[in-house]
Amino acid sequence: MHPKTEDFFIPQNTVTRLSEEEAAQSLNFLQVIKAVENTTYQSMYVIDYLKKGFDYVSDNRLFLCGHTPEEFVAMGYDFYMKHVPQEDLELLLKINEAGFKFYEKTPLEERRHYSITYDFHLIMGDNRKVLVNHKYTPLFLTNEGQIWKALCLFSLSNKSSAGNVQIQRQGSNMIWVYNEAEDGWESREKVCLTSRETEILVFASQGLSVSEIAAKMCVTSDTVKFHHKNLFEKLEVVNISQAVAVATSYKLV
């Protein structure tokens, strides 16, 4: 059966009305979102589960597949029906359901501290597929703990395939990885970088070459390459650009 827009709005997170207290949470929040957007390279949008659509989306044509932000907001989740491949739509629905099940088991007062990240393909106007990453976190909850509004940051993925679903908790050294085959979550410790590895990533993020990093650190180029190899294995990437992106994304540097 082909996924439908309403499939993304599941009973566990149904928001039908808001009290005055709940609604007051969002006063002027879009001004804050736009101000944050001015200071970051990432694009973002805001989901509203009461109206089952979007409040706001960044004006980034790459991720809008040729649409304007106004057209994206008007389309709502039909945007995904049109621009996400069938197999990735089915994956997004699995992630959606598994994510809300995870939140259900989380104490209400802690739910704002969690975020989920995952990758999927968008189909561009020329039928080219681009792998993108979403990082999703709750903005406002109802008194019963349902997510009313959520913020999603989107960027190009540094992975090679869709999926890669992880949940993180702010201030925790644990992550939870989604096992699609078993439809469950596996807890793992976050990657821990050495001071040398962190230093190399900082220099690499500044655009320095291996020989330039070696000179800065007063070591040989082979030593820098050795640390590169360890970084690639720890972060499950294939080059230093991806290592910088992953380490930055997971706040390891």
- Give, for all 253 residues of the chain, the pLDDT tens digit: 678 888 899 888 889 889 998 888 888 888 888 888 888 777 899 999 999 999 999 988 788 998 999 999 999 999 999 999 999 999 999 999 999 999 999 998 899 999 999 999 999 878 899 999 999 999 999 999 999 999 999 988 888 899 999 999 988 888 999 998 888 999 988 888 899 999 999 999 898 999 999 999 999 999 999 999 999 988 888 889 888 888 887 777 7
Rama region for 37: left / alpha / beta (φ>0; ψ in -120 to 50; rest)? alpha
**Could you tell me the domains of the chain?**
5-189 (3.30.450.20), 195-249 (1.10.10.10)
pTM comes to 0.83
- Using DSSP bridges, classify how beta strands 147-156 and 43-48 pair: parallel, antiparallel or unpaired: antiparallel
